[in-house]
Structure formats: C-alpha cells, structure tokens
Chain A
Amino acid sequence: MEFDYPRVLFKNRKPDRVATLEEYRESGGYEALQKFVGGRVSPKEVIRLVSESGLLGRGGAGFPAGMKWSSVPDSSPFPRYLVANADEMEPGTFKDRVLMHVDPHCIIEGMVLAAYSFSASKGFFFVRPSYESSAHILERELEIARKAGFLGHRILGTDFSFDIVVHRSGGRYICGEASALLNAIMGKRPNPVKPPPYPTEKGLWEKPTVVNNVETLANIPHILRNGPEWFKGLSATGHGAGTKLYAISGRVSRPGAVELPIGTRFSEIIDEHCGGMAPGARFKACLPGGASTRFMTGEHYDIPMDFEDLKKIGNRLGTAAIMVFDHNTCLLGATLNLMEFFARESCGWCTPCREGLPYMLELLRRIENGEGREEYIPNLRILCKQVWNSYCALAPGAAEPVISLLDFFEDEVRQHISEKGCPFHAKAGH
C-alpha cells in the first residue's frame, strides 16, 4: 500500500536498523546546523523561524516551541541547559522510542539548534530505564556526531560549544512533568514544582533550562532547512503545522507508529494506515492522545487529529497515542487498568492525587469485580472533579478516562453493578 504523504521525521526509517550519520547527511541532515550555527545566524532568527512555523510541543501540552525558547530572558545567567524529555511513560505512547531508533541524528541536530537559540552549553537526554536500547544508540551516535564536529567543543569551528549527556533516570511517570524531571536530574525527589519561577528562568541549579520533547526537537532541523511556510504546508488542515507521529495500538489490523500530516482524519489513520479494525472487531471508542485523555466514541470518527480540533470536542491530542477499543472490550476494565498505573505513579506529593487515585481505583475495581454499589458512580464523578484541585496535572489527567467513561458508557458501568460482574467477561469466554 502506497500513500502520498510527506516523510520528514521517518524519512530515513529502515525496517531493521538505525539510520547512520551518512544516511542522515545524504537526506539533508546537518545542513541546517551548518547554515545557522556554522553561518553564525542570529539565535533570534532561529527562534523567529521556529515560532513562525507554528510548531507546537509534541510532548502532550502543545505549547509553542519558539515561545518557550524566547522565554529565556536575554539577561539571564549562564550556563543554560537544554533537556530532551524522552521519559515517554504515558501508557500507549511509543512514538519517541521509534523515533530514537529510526533517526537519532535528527534529534541530536535539533538539540544543537535549540541550544543555539538560547545559548545553552549543556544538554541532558533524559531516558527512562526501559529505554536502555535507546540510551545506548544515543550515546553511540552522540560520539559519532562529536567526532564529526557537530557537537561538543567549538561546533563546526565556531565559538559555540554545546554537549549532550544521556541521563538514565530511575524512570517514573511523573518525571515526564518538566519540573519533576529537573528535580530528578539534580538528584532530588521528582516532585513537581509550581511556577513561578519557570524553568526557563530558574531551572536546573537555578539556571535557565528548556525542556523539550524528543519529537519537537527532531522537527527543528527540517523547519530551519525548509522554512516555516514549508512546515505549515505539511499540515492536513489549515490551522495545523507539520507532520505528526501517531502511535496506534489496540484492536486494529496493523498497530504501530506512523508519520502523517498533522490533522489527518481519524478515520483515515485507522482505515487506511492501520488496515482498519482487527478482523471481527467493531470500533467502540478510543483514547486519542494517551491514557490521560478522554474516551472518544464513533461520533467523532472523522475528526482531524490536531490539537485544535480535539480541543473543540473537549478532548486533547496529547501525545497522539491512539488506543483503539472494540465492541468486545470492557472499557471499565480498560479504565481500571489505566487507574492502576496512575495510582502507582503518583509522586505522593499532594493529597487528592496520592489518596484520591487509589480511592478511584478501589471503586473501579469493586465495580469491575461485581462488588459495586450505585453510590460509587456519583462519588466517582465528584472525585474526578475534585482532583482538579491537586498540585500538578497528573491527577486531572488520570481522571479524564474515568469521567469520560461515566459520560459515554455509564450504562455499561451500571450493568456491572446490576449484574454483579463484568458483562464482557462472560462474552469473551475467559
């Protein structure tokens, strides 16, 4: 099956191995570095181009990348730090891992350019333990880039120096949160810290620090080489910009990570790029952007998968990790599974998250096991609302599947209570 869509980040994707430096350079790699860093183009120009391109952060929040860099005050002290966030622990999300295994130099070049834009001198590549193979690849390729003069002391013979270390973290979901991640790098407990001050003013060791997602960084060389207009033109919608890595899992024929224009319709992603639903499976719902987004039903099957469009229906693109559930899947069971994860991964800082998520978990588990009571449903609804007053976004995110489960599938939940057990259990025959 061949489709006519642009290949940017996955341009050098090989079925069985990582793209080499040579292959990356043949495809235009490190040209942007040579032009902007080698040519000593003003860092402000780099920021301007990225801002103009409309690149939104790919880590889940969709914050404009250029704006983040420009929020490092000109007068702020040195050294400044750049962190590539490869903690990728949102359930269902695996696009960054694929990207690191496809074209690591694309990320490395993106980091050097990002660092150049706000004069950072040190970069951290923050990887979780289960991504050891990615850490290994990165370390190998960083050394190759260093030898080629694209990284390290006096890059391309200029007076700009920037080096990257791979930071193997203990690995926790909360480390995906930028301020918690910074605490972890500094050897502290990874508790999130509320701004102000923002990390771009006082981050690692009180110095300006920018945290970007791996995919965000990988887009930078392409934007700078081809220009913002080109980047905007990649989008399938008028308002989006660039391509997007969608990671599809669940009951589809061909799950996996695909690169598509941002804003590609959900129906197209499933039916054409994933070979449709798995044999015998009917679409019931999906989580469109990872575990901390709302269930999306067939009603929006045709929706363009972009930040703005999902926001309009009260959902989020998140990490664009699409988890597809079919008519035979118990969504309460799926939600329970996610809640086990969230309750386990709470950092324990604030009460609503530390105690509230296990509370939800207990109620969900009881309903799933046939011990549910009617009053659990309103209690869950209130709890979902109340966890919005927790310290960071973890607990509100964790509540999203639960509240949307009750919004769209309350009958199914009630069925668990009235039938004193999971209705899908019997049907699935296990």
Chain B
Amino acid sequence: MPRLVIDEREIEVPEGTKVIDAAEMLGIVIPRFCYHEALGSIGACRMCAVKFLQGPFKGVQMSCMIDARDGMVVSTTDEEAVQFRKRVIELLMKNHPLDCPVCDEGGQCLLQDETVSSGHGVRLFPGPKRTYRDQYLGPYIKHEMNRCIHCYRCSRFYQEFCGYRDLGPLQIGDRMYFGRFSDGALESPFSGNLVDICPTGVYTDKTARFKLRRWDLERAPSLCNQCSLGCATVANGHYRGVMRVEARFDSEVNGYFICDAGRFGFSYSNGGEGRRERPLGPKMAGAPASGPIALAGAREALENIAAKYGPEAIGAVGSDRNSLESQCMLALVCKTRGWLGPVFFSDPVVRRKTLAAVEALDGELAVSMREIAEADFVLVAGADPLNEAPMAALALRQAARKHAPVVVIDPRSIRLPFDFEHFPASPEEIEKYLGTLLRMAVEKDVAGLGKEGEEFFRATGFENFEPPAEMARLSELLGSSKRPVILCGTDVSVETTPAFAAECARLLRISGKQAGLFYLLPGAGSFGAALLSETAEKTFGSLIEDIENGVVRALVVAESDPFHFYPDRDRLERALSKLELLVAIDYFPSETVRRASIFYPASTIFETGSTYINQEGRVQFAQPVHRGGAPIRGGQHPPRVYSGLVPGGDHLPAWKVLWQIAGMAEEIAGGHGDISPQNFIPAALPAFDGLGAERGYPVDGPRLFAAKPGFRGKGGSAGGIGGERGEDPESFDLLMVEWMFGTSEFSAWSDSLDAALCAPYMSMNSRDAARAGLRDGDRVSVELDGGTFEIEVCVSDRTAGGVLVVPRHQALDWQKMKDFPVRVSAEKIRKI
C-alpha cells in the first residue's frame, strides 16, 4: 500500500493505483480527456500532467500513466504543470469550433469545462481552423468531426470494450479522423454510449438533437426496465416529455454503459403518431371521462360484478413490466378482496422456470455483471445474451478480453462480440452438454465432493452421449478455472434447466471454486412477479379457460397486454368479448386498452417512483423524472386555458389506480388521505420487509435472496432427461425467441426504435433446410393451427437440428398457435 503526498495531503492507496485516481480519492480531480476508468490509461491527451517533486519520477509527467509509489510528492498546482495543461487546452481549442451555442453537448461538455478551468480564453494561434467532412452514422448518432479533440475514447470504447470494428481512427497527424471507412449506420448495438463517452460534441444523440439545452432538463436517476438486468440510467425530462436517456454509473450492474435499446427506447412515454399516440385521458365505454369519474365508475362496476358473481369472478392481471409497487398492490388486492390472481405469467412453464431461478439464487452463488466481467470461465446455457439482456453480452466480452473461455450451449445461432465456443444443442439437450462438460471438469476431484456430489454424478450420467471433441479441452480449462460463472436463460430452455444450472454451479462450489450463477429472466419485473406468484399458481392461459367457462366475468389488467404475448389471438379475442367488464390500466395504446370498457392511464417509470428487482435479486429504485402530461412539441402550445390542471395529467401509478378501484382506501392508510408504498410493499410478502422506502436504498441496492446456500437435492431434470426428441422426428420444434429490437412491447410502442428494426427471419440448420427443401433466403409460409405466417429462411449450421427459431417480432403475425410447445412438420412449411 503505497503512501504518497498530493498537493500537501497524504494518502495511502492500493498497489497499482494510478496517481490520477489517487488524487481523485482526495477529492482532487485532475483534468483528463483520454483517461476513462472503463478504458484505462493511454497517455494520449497529455491533459492530466502534474509535477512530480519527489520520488522515482521527476518533473512534469502524466498522472494517468504512473502508478502511485511510496515517497512520491506530487503537485497538481505547480506553475509548470498548470502552464502545460493550459497549453494542451490551447492546442485542442486551436481547431475546435466555437459552436457551443448550437452544440448539443453544450453545458455537459468536458472540453468546455476544462477550457474554462484552465484559464485559456484568448486564441493566440493565428492560423485557420481545420475542417472535416462528417459521416452519416445511422439514425441515432450525429457525427461532427470538426469538434474532435482526438482523445481516442470513441475508438477504444467501440473496438476494445465492445468488440465492433466499423468505427475507428483513420489517417495520421492532425488529419486524424475518427469514423467509418465509409458512411453507414454503426453496427454496434452499444453505439449510443459514444454520446456519453465523447468528452465533447463529436457524437451527439440524434433523437434529441436541437431539442434541448442541458441546463433546462429535469434530470433524475432512473432505471432501464426493458430487460431483467435493471441498468442504471439518467433520464432527462423537458416539456412534459422524456428527451433523452443516458447511462448512469453503477459499479455492480452496468458499469458506465447501457445498450441502445435501453437508451433510445423511451419514446413510448411521450407517445407517437396515430396508433402510437399515448392514451393520456381516462375513458369509459370508449368515451373520455374525467379521472375521478373513471375511478369511481370502475370501482362501482367491479363491486357490481363481485356482488353478482362473487369476487373470484374478477381476474387480476399484471406482467413483468409492473413495478414492484404495482405487483404488491395486485397481490394485496387479490388477498383482501378475493379477486382471482394475481396473474403475472402467460405460460405456466415460464412461471415455473422463473420461480426456479429466483429460488435457486443465494448470496453465495448470485453474481453481478461486474463479477461476470471478472470470471475466468463462463458457461452460457440456453441464453442469448445479446438479444435477451444486451449488457450481459458486454460483461461477457470483458471476461473474454481477459482470456476467459466462453462456452455457449444454445439452439440458436448465437452472435456475440467476441470469440466463443458454441454447442448448438436443442433445448432438451442443453442439460446434457452442460452436465457432461461439468462432469469431465470435476471428475478427478469427485472423491472430495461428498454425498451431494456423488448424487449429482449419478444423476448426470447421460447415456449414449458422445461428447464433441472440443469438450475435453474446454473441460480442462473449466477444471482449472477459479471463478467460473454459469449464465442461464429462462426463455428457450426446458423447465428443469434453471434448477439444473444452479446445481451445476453448486457442484463447482464444492469442488473449491468461487463459482457464480447469473440468470436472465423474461422481464424487468420477473423477479418480483415470481415471488408473488409462488402461491398463486394461475397463469393467463388458465384464466382464458376460466373466462370461457364463465367463471371469470371481469378482468383488471394492469400494465399488461395479452395481445402482445398470448399465442392464440383468435381465442383471446373471443374470450375478452365474453367479459362483462374489462378494466385496463396502462401507458401503452395497446389492443387491450382499445377494447377496455374502462381505461385509466398509468404513469411510466419516468413519471412515478418505482422499484424493480433485477434478475440477480438487486432491489433498485427509479426516481420520478418529470410529472408527465401531454408533451409540448412541434410548435404546439398547450391550450390557453387558465387552470391548475396539467393537460394529460390524469395518469397515476398503476398501483394507485388499483388501490382506488378496489376500494382499498379503507384498508390501507386508514381510509383517508394518501398512501405510500412503504405502507403496503412489506405487507405483500415477508421477504419484502423494509422495501418501499423511496430513498432508503443504498446506491448498489439491497440484495434479496429467496434461497439459502446448499444443495437443493432436486437436481434439475435428474434422470428424467435424456435429450430425447419428440415422437415425430420429421417435425420441428418452433422456438419463439427475443430479439434486441422488435420483440418487446417497448419496441412496439417506441417510434424511436423503428430505425433499429430489421425484418424477422426464421433460422434453421442446413440438414433441416434440405429436408424441408428450403434454401437460405427463401420466403416461406408456415402453417400453424390457427393460420399461417410468412417469413424469410436463414440457414445457419450453428442452429441446432430439429428447431425453427423465430422471433416474436412485431412485424410478424405469429399469434396463431394453440399453445406451447409448438411442433411444425416439414410439409407445413411452404416456399412462396
């Protein structure tokens, strides 16, 4: 632990700390451009010069390049260093245009700040400024090369950190250019981070261009709720709309960055044109109604149903986009009012998989994304990180950069921005590959594994399985690893896989490794939904039956759209039309909302404080950013009516609407006044004790674990699986999967993501394609029980045999299947 003196203050820092970081620990921020904690030091900008007075280095040196050592005496205010830094700024400003008044970076520009702090105010350089031609970089990033100060952050982030190669440095000297070989959309789905990481305005957010000035924004720490990772964001509100989303630093979860879906997928909250217009006004029987009338009307209608058919004739439906507050309120309403539910899941298998994952995580096994980045071996089982949880792919890349082998066992032709080993296994075979690899890795230590280990070994003896040749080498690497992580998905895997993955991780633990476990769950609210549905086993599928049988007469649907996820649209439509009452609470202009007899607008995550538990059990809180209301845009002015009300300001958090329409005011909060989540979240489940206090969470969130360490003894599919395909070898399993863009509800209702969409395709491997008489690029119609959909074929031999992989894409009319799993025989796929 070296001790050094910086600006006459002594500090002891860990070995290997750079002087620039040591100074920061003392609260001294040394100016910098190229240095970034996530990217490391390169010494290019020369901005962080300080003077070394004593110790192994002398004179003006770069503080980012030198490790703190014992006996160093450093001055950041020495005249020589100050003059040098001032010169660096002068040199950078020599060519930087003074377009700050019209630059979107203005007000949050590091170059602006450092220029002011350096004292450089008068241009001494007599020559002209350098100019460049800008490039078209796609729909999200605006390129303005004249502003570039050549700090290399963009290319290092883009190439080294993310693993994409289409943006980088070109040319030399002062003609250096950061861009692409030629104009074109950036290929990286993390390209939005260029906006954050560029210290000046070379890359700016096109979606927010010329709409705002930084100092006018209402900013608050928020969360991304588009997948289960729960990345930290800063949302920027203005004119009653969200203008821009930026990444917020979270050391454990997303680090400094977020993906493009999370960054640009916010426009649903402002609403779009036509069918995408956000429903901001309450409605009764299709006609606008005032807030209080709609709430009272819904309450009365529900009371009538309960009186007529009993309270269990009212079904309560939530989803994985509910906040924990809404989920707890749904659970509480069902408990006190006797409504049926709450129903959070559509498919019972998905519910059980999610629950199995949640129950398997304990404090020992659960790892964060930061810990994935530090893993020395990663096994990905039944997960497509880039599509299901993009930032997890970036965490995996950081591990791979440090030479950790990454092995993916998945039926899809997975793409990741680094080299990895892929075993294209069908969902039924995933456990076989995973178990065998693990067996081979720890076999020689089996004696020391105890009774549980032996049991595991008995259970994982997969017969008739000839492991692929590469497995021997990989199992050796896994065997010699110290911090392996298993990343397990819950979408395409079979029901037993999440629990099996947990047993595998535990086995690695007993064999002496710091093994970790990381699940990807279906959505941002899945963790809470799984815990709350532990006893209420209803899923939406069985609810439909109840409606058809006349048991359920009314539905309250909170932030959920069955039209998005239910596989049989015809049946759904018939069932909903049988209902006597459909109450919808949502912020999306969904089909459910359109059909609702009573609709109440819900607040988005940006308008209400909300809690989410991410897939690793981390409880996080998103602060409200703005109060919402009809956004002011395109030269429109709000109605010139003097009123205390905000136009479009009727929206309420979904839980508050539920509280009112269920008549819960009497039960909670003493029947009058307002209510706070603190009042009801802890009551919903003993595990939630202490949650709900808005500001009570630590920065990295408390962790919530349902499980206790130790073997569960229910070794996944133990014995029960053998990788057997179904009865008909001539037919295919239809796997419906997630894509990063185009399959989520957020993507369906955010016009800002339209530009990122690409046409859906169905992937299959070449043997299967030959069997069905198809070739790459063919357009086919696939016949399902309820009709057909048309799609392009993509042949890839990295797709497992016997499966057809199809995205649940918004451009694809896929909801024509009776129920999962769906099998399609070859003659049902016709070339068109």
B45 touches A359 (CB 8 A): no
B65 touches A194 (CB 8 A): yes
Closest B residue, CB atoms, query A386? B87
B92 touches A351 (CB 8 A): yes
A351 touches B172 (CB 8 A): no
B44 touches A349 (CB 8 A): yes
What's the minimum C-beta distance from B121 to chain A, rounded to whole angstroms? 16
Cα distance A382–B79 in the bound complex, in angstroms: 14
Cα distance A352–B95 in the bound complex, in angstroms: 13
Give chain A interface residues in 348-376, CB to chain B under 8 Å: 348-352, 354-359, 362-363, 366, 371, 373, 375
Q: Counting CB contacts under 8 A, is A84 at the interface? A: no
Cα distance A375–B124 in the bound complex, in angstroms: 10
Decide: A362 near B127, CB < 8 A? Known: A189-B169, A355-B95: yes
B125 touches A350 (CB 8 A): no
A389 touches B44 (CB 8 A): no
A362 touches B126 (CB 8 A): yes
Decide: A352 near B43, CB < 8 A? Known: A346-B172, A389-B60: no
Q: Counting CB contacts under 8 A, is A33 at the interface? A: no
What's the minimum C-beta distance from A342 to chain B, rounded to whole angstroms? 9
A348 touches B172 (CB 8 A): yes
What's the minimum C-beta distance from A355 to chain B, rounded to whole angstroms? 4
A354 touches B94 (CB 8 A): no
What's the minimum C-beta distance from A277 to chain B, rounded to whole angstroms? 35
What's the minimum C-beta distance from A387 to chain B, rounded to whole angstroms? 9
Decide: A350 near B44, CB < 8 A? Known: A355-B91, A389-B60: yes
Name which of B126, B127, B152, B173 has the most chain A CB atoms within 10 A of its CB: B173
Closest A residue, CB atoms, query B65? A194
Cα distance A192–B418 in the bound complex, in angstroms: 26
Give chain A interface residues in 373-430, CB to chain B under 8 Å: 373, 375, 379, 382-383, 386, 389-391
Cα distance A350–B65 in the bound complex, in angstroms: 13
B43 touches A354 (CB 8 A): no
B174 touches A343 (CB 8 A): yes
A348 touches B176 (CB 8 A): yes
Decide: A348 near B92, CB < 8 A? Known: A379-B124, A391-B46: no
B46 touches A343 (CB 8 A): no
Interfacial chain A residues near B381, Cβ < 8 Å: none
A391 touches B43 (CB 8 A): yes
Of the candidates B47, B60, B62, B150, the one whose C-beta lies within 8 Å of that of A354 is B150
Interfacial chain B residues near A351, Cβ < 8 Å: 44-47, 88, 91-92, 149-150
Of the candidates B43, B61, B174, the one whose C-beta lies within 8 Å of that of A355 is B174
Interfacial chain B residues near A332, Cβ < 8 Å: none
Cα distance A369–B267 in the bound complex, in angstroms: 57
Interfacial chain A residues near B44, Cβ < 8 Å: 349-351, 391
Cα distance A382–B91 in the bound complex, in angstroms: 13
Q: Counting CB contacts under 8 A, is B171 at the interface? A: yes
Interfacial chain B residues near A356, Cβ < 8 Å: 87, 91
Cα distance A189–B152 in the bound complex, in angstroms: 12
What's the minimum C-beta distance from A90 to chain B, rounded to whole angstroms? 17
Cα distance A345–B91 in the bound complex, in angstroms: 18
What's the minimum C-beta distance from B681 to chain A, rounded to whole angstroms? 53
Give chain A interface residues in 300-320, CB to chain B under 8 Å: none
Name which of A194, A347, A355 has the most chain B CB atoms within 10 A of its CB: A355
Interfacial chain A residues near B126, Cβ < 8 Å: 362-363, 366, 371, 373
Interfacial chain B residues near A358, Cβ < 8 Å: 127, 173-174
B173 touches A348 (CB 8 A): yes
Cα distance A373–B127 in the bound complex, in angstroms: 13
Closest A residue, CB atoms, query B125? A359
Give chain A interface residues in 12-68, CB to chain B under 8 Å: none
Interfacial chain B residues near A210, Cβ < 8 Å: none
Q: Counting CB contacts under 8 A, is A331 at the interface? A: no
A348 touches B45 (CB 8 A): no
What's the minimum C-beta distance from A365 to chain B, rounded to whole angstroms? 9
B46 touches A350 (CB 8 A): yes
Q: Counting CB contacts under 8 A, is B84 at the interface? A: yes
Name which of B49, B91, B92, B95 has the most chain A CB atoms within 10 A of its CB: B91
Name which of A352, A371, A382 has the most chain B CB atoms within 10 A of its CB: A352
Of the candidates B84, B125, B173, the one whose C-beta lies within 8 Å of that of A362 is B125
Give chain B interface residues in 108-158, CB to chain A under 8 Å: 124-127, 149-150, 152
Of the candidates A189, A354, A373, the one whose C-beta lies within 8 Å of that of B173 is A354
Give chain B interface residues in 155-211, CB to chain A under 8 Å: 169, 171-176
Closest A residue, CB atoms, query B59? A389
Cα distance A296–B254 in the bound complex, in angstroms: 59
Q: Counting CB contacts under 8 A, is A327 at the interface? A: no
Cα distance A378–B784 in the bound complex, in angstroms: 82
Interfacial chain A residues near B87, Cβ < 8 Å: 352, 356, 382-383, 386
Cα distance A356–B95 in the bound complex, in angstroms: 11
Of the candidates B49, B83, B171, the one whose C-beta lies within 8 Å of that of A348 is B171
Q: Counting CB contacts under 8 A, is A120 at the interface? A: no
Cα distance A163–B44 in the bound complex, in angstroms: 36
What's the minimum C-beta distance from A423 to chain B, rounded to whole angstroms? 22
Interfacial chain B residues near A390, Cβ < 8 Å: 46
Q: Counting CB contacts under 8 A, is A100 at the interface? A: no
Decide: A355 near B172, CB < 8 A? Known: A194-B43, A391-B44: no
Name which of A350, A379, A382 has the most chain B CB atoms within 10 A of its CB: A350
Interfacial chain B residues near A382, Cβ < 8 Å: 83, 87
Q: Counting CB contacts under 8 A, is A251 at the interface? A: no
Q: Counting CB contacts under 8 A, is A174 at the interface? A: yes
Interfacial chain B residues near A294, Cβ < 8 Å: none
Interfacial chain B residues near A357, Cβ < 8 Å: 173-174
Cα distance A390–B43 in the bound complex, in angstroms: 9
Cα distance A345–B176 in the bound complex, in angstroms: 11
Decide: A346 near B43, CB < 8 A? Known: A189-B169, A351-B92, A386-B84: no
Q: Counting CB contacts under 8 A, is A232 at the interface? A: no
Q: Counting CB contacts under 8 A, is A172 at the interface? A: yes
Decide: A346 near B173, CB < 8 A? Known: A352-B91, A355-B95, A391-B43: yes
What's the minimum C-beta distance from B728 to chain A, rounded to whole angstroms? 52
Of the candidates A352, A359, A366, the one whose C-beta lies within 8 Å of that of B46 is A352
A-B contact pairs, 14 of them (CB 8 A): A345-B172, A346-B172, A346-B173, A350-B43, A351-B88, A352-B46, A355-B91, A355-B92, A355-B174, A359-B91, A362-B126, A373-B126, A379-B124, A383-B87
Q: Contacts A359-B91, A382-B83 given; 6 further ones with Cβ under 8 A?
A: A354-B174, A354-B176, A355-B91, A358-B174, A373-B126, A389-B49
Top 8 A-B residue pairs of the complex, sorted by shortest distance between their CB atoms: A355-B91, A348-B176, A362-B127, A346-B173, A348-B172, A358-B174, A351-B46, A386-B87
**A residues touching B (Cβ–Cβ < 8 Å)?**
172, 174, 189, 194, 343-352, 354-359, 362-363, 366, 371, 373, 375, 379, 382-383, 386, 389-391
**B residues touching A (Cβ–Cβ < 8 Å)?**
43-47, 49, 60-62, 65, 83-84, 87-88, 91-92, 94-95, 124-127, 149-150, 152, 169, 171-176
